[in-house]
């Protein structure tokens, strides 16, 4: 393990820093996205998002100017914008747009609840049998078809995709081409700046039918509707490989569904503390990829303590994230360092942090739970849920919503 030098402030220098210090842990060329990391970028993105028109334009795809989605997901994923804040931000907008937008925030919360409750069990198809891994190694997104190749290019060069294109690519991968969904999910995760196991796995499971039993079919019809100029540019326009709906086999319900999908036997464990649990004076705040915002409860509570971030070397070696993701994280850390002391380390987080008395925000993901149990966390702060987890079903978004209590917006 080693402490890394301070991260420079300018984006091009950040990229060089990633190349110098995290090289060998990432996949692909050292390239950054045009989406900037950092609290200032997140605040600017939120301030400039106007929800008016969202319901009508959220699913538009190409040309880019037609898109009405907010693009806030990288900031939401890393805790730079928490869901209650984003919920409040749109409050004064037109009713239809506000309802539609808030519904999507609830999808994010639903995915977080599923992951908080089931953790690594979300690697398996939760309710219906859909193959997770197959031995095929070809990439069906590497196609001459403009809808697929444009999606693949945006994913790999920008690290972001509109929801529609995520559904198109995921459906094409599994429903039409019959690849295992976990392999596609891993490829998304490698590139998406907002890549989270929570939303990515729920998104894939929903699209391929593992959650609902009804796979989403992708054909030319959606492209014509959502990207009307695209087919005219496509070399396969007259021999379109997605002209018809994909054949769909009926999915069988899984013989043994994890009982926690229907009921959470330990909702307090899932949700974490609802108030601060402080047993001593910490000497640093431990921050992770989930807790990089100025409003993070632990960071906000201890403004005078250094923040410590560990690039988890064993994990990164396994994940092989794209450099875009690492550059986004590095830029965000450099931005925090303009307001408080930040230590950046490379190594195993438990070994790096072992002798420190830490403040941290409870984080409902399996990796945080296992590491935190081995650390001396003397000040634990609650996660900012939009809706506090309940013990009712997470079988579907609708069933989950019915059991959900009040919003904390
Ligand atoms: C196959 C697949 C994989 C996905 N992987 C991820 C992922 O790794 N990380 C991720 O954050 N989202 C994921 N999503 C959900 C969704 O596509 C993105 O959150 C959304 O496209 C982000 O763009 P936006 O910020 O402009 O969204 P907007 O439409 O502006 O919505 C605002 C916010 O609501 C949340 N949201 C919107 N739609 C969804 C949804 N369907 N599920 C969960 N949250 C949603 C996001 O936090 C988003 O930033 C995935 C969806 C699919 C179908």
The tens digit of pLDDT for each residue in 294-321 reads 999 999 999 999 999 999 999 999 999 9
**Last-in-domain residue among 201, 226, 258:** 258
- Is 177 domain-assigned? yes
Domain match, 185 and 305 both: no
Domain match, 138 and 245 both: yes
- Is 36 domain-assigned? no
- Is 183 domain-assigned? yes
Average pLDDT over residues 157-170: 98
Tokens of 108: 């994010």
Residue 196 to residue 11: CA distance in whole angstroms: 23
- Is 279 domain-assigned? yes
The per-residue pLDDT for 174 is 96
Nearest CA to ligand 1 atom 2: 203
Helices 181-191, 146-158: inter-axial angle, 10-degree rounding: 50
Domain match, 153 and 253 both: yes
Q: Are the C-beta atoms of residues 242 and 144 closer than 8 Å to each other?
A: no
Using alpha carbons, select from 184, 195, 110 the residue that is nearest to residue 152.
Answer: 184
Domain match, 132 and 228 both: yes
pLDDT band at 179 (very low <50, low <70, confident <90, very high): very high
- Please state the domain count of the chain: 2
Using alpha carbons, select from 402, 304, 399, 344 the residue that is nearest to residue 17.
Answer: 344
Which of 73, 182, 208, 289 for mutating ligand 1's site (highest number of atoms within 8 Å of CB)? 73
The per-residue pLDDT for 408 is 65
C-beta 76 within 6 A of ligand 1: yes
Question: What CATH number is associated with residue 301?
Answer: 3.40.50.620
- Mean pLDDT, the chain, integer: 96
Alpha carbon of 73 to ligand 1 centroid (Å) = 6
Asked whether the predicted pLDDT for residue 70 surpasses 90, the reply is yes
Domain match, 252 and 279 both: no
Domain match, 238 and 286 both: no
Question: What CATH number is associated with residue 183?
Answer: 1.10.579.10
Domain match, 361 and 291 both: yes
Using alpha carbons, select from 255, 260, 351, 342 the residue that is nearest to residue 303.
Answer: 342
Its domain, for residue 347, covers 273-381
**Tokens 């929800």 belong to which residue?**
51
- Is 92 domain-assigned? no
- Is 77 domain-assigned? no
pLDDT band at 80 (very low <50, low <70, confident <90, very high): very high
Residue 407 to residue 399: CA distance in whole angstroms: 16
The per-residue pLDDT for 30 is 83
Using alpha carbons, select from 55, 112, 45 the residue that is nearest to residue 85.
Answer: 45
Asked whether the predicted pLDDT for residue 409 surpasses 70, the reply is no
**Residue 373 burial (C-beta neighbours within 10 Å; 0-12, 13-18, 19+):** exposed
pLDDT band at 29 (very low <50, low <70, confident <90, very high): confident
Report helix, strand or coil for 211: coil
Average pLDDT over residues 171-186: 96
Among 137-141, 181-185, 340-344, which stretch is predicted with the lowest mean pLDDT? 137-141
Which of 82, 108, 409 for mutating ligand 1's site (highest number of atoms within 8 Å of CB)? 108
Domain match, 374 and 287 both: yes
Q: Are the C-beta atoms of residues 377 and 358 closer than 8 Å to each other?
A: yes
Average pLDDT over residues 341-364: 98
In tens, the pLDDT along 271-283 reads 999 999 999 999 9
Domain match, 191 and 239 both: yes
- Is 390 domain-assigned? no
Between 248 and 270, where is the model more confident?
Answer: 270
Domain match, 320 and 370 both: yes
- Is 24 domain-assigned? no
Closest ligand 1 atom to 170 CA: 1
Q: Whole-prediction pTM value?
A: 0.98
Tokens of 249: 């086999």
pLDDT band at 101 (very low <50, low <70, confident <90, very high): very high
Domain match, 226 and 190 both: yes
C-beta 107 within 6 A of ligand 1: yes
The per-residue pLDDT for 405 is 78
Average pLDDT over residues 356-383: 98
Asked whether the predicted pLDDT for residue 222 surpasses 70, the reply is yes
Average pLDDT over residues 201-228: 97
Domain match, 145 and 243 both: yes
The per-residue pLDDT for 189 is 98
Q: Are the C-beta atoms of residues 163 and 241 closer than 8 Å to each other?
A: no
Nearest CA to ligand 1 atom 18: 163
Average pLDDT over residues 79-93: 97
């Amino acid at each position: 393990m080693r402490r890394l030098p301070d991260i420079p402030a300018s984006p091009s220098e950040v990229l060089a820093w990633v190349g110098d210090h995290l090289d060998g842990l990432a996949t692909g060329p050292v390239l950054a996205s045009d989406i900037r990391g950092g609290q200032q970028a997140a605040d600017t993105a939120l301030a400039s998002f106007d929800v008016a028109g969202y319901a009508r334009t959220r699913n538009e795809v190409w040309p880019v100017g037609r898109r009405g989605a907010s693009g806030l997901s990288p900031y939401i994923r890393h805790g730079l914008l928490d869901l209650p804040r984003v919920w409040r931000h749109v409050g004064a907008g037109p009713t239809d747009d506000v309802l539609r937008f808030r519904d999507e925030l609830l999808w994010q919360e639903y995915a977080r609840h599923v992951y908080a409750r089931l953790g690594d069990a979300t690697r398996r198809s939760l309710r219906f049998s859909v193959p997770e891994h197959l031995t095929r190694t070809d990439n069906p997104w590497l196609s001459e078809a403009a809808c697929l190749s444009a999606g693949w290019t945006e994913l790999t060069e920008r690290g972001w995709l509109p929801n529609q294109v995520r559904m198109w690519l995921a459906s094409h991968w599994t429903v039409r081409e019959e690849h295992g969904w976990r392999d596609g999910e891993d490829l998304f995760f490698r590139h998406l700046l907002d890549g989270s196991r929570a939303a990515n796995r729920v998104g894939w499971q929903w699209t391929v039918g593992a959650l609902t039993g009804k796979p989403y079919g992708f054909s030319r019809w959606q492209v014509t509707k959502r990207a009307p100029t695209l087919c005219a540019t496509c070399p396969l326009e007259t021999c379109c490989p997605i002209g018809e709906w994909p054949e769909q086999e009926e999915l069988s319900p899984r013989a043994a569904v994890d009982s926690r999908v229907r009921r959470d036997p330990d909702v307090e464990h899932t949700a974490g503390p609802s108030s601060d649990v402080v047993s001593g004076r910490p000497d640093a705040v431990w921050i992770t990829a989930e807790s990089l915002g100025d409003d993070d409860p632990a960071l906000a509570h201890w403004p005078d303590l250094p923040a410590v971030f560990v690039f988890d070397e064993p994990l990164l070696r396994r994940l092989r994230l794209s450099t875009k993701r690492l550059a986004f994280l590095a830029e965000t850390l450099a931005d925090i360092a303009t307001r408080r002391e930040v230590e950046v380390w490379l190594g195993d987080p438990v070994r790096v942090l072992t002798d420190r008395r830490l403040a941290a925000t409870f984080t409902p993901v399996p990796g945080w739970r296992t590491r935190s149990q081995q650390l001396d966390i003397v000040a634990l702060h609650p996660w900012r849920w939009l809706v506090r987890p309940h013990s009712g079903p997470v079988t579907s978004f609708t069933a989950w919503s019915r059991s959900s209590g009040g919003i904390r917006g």
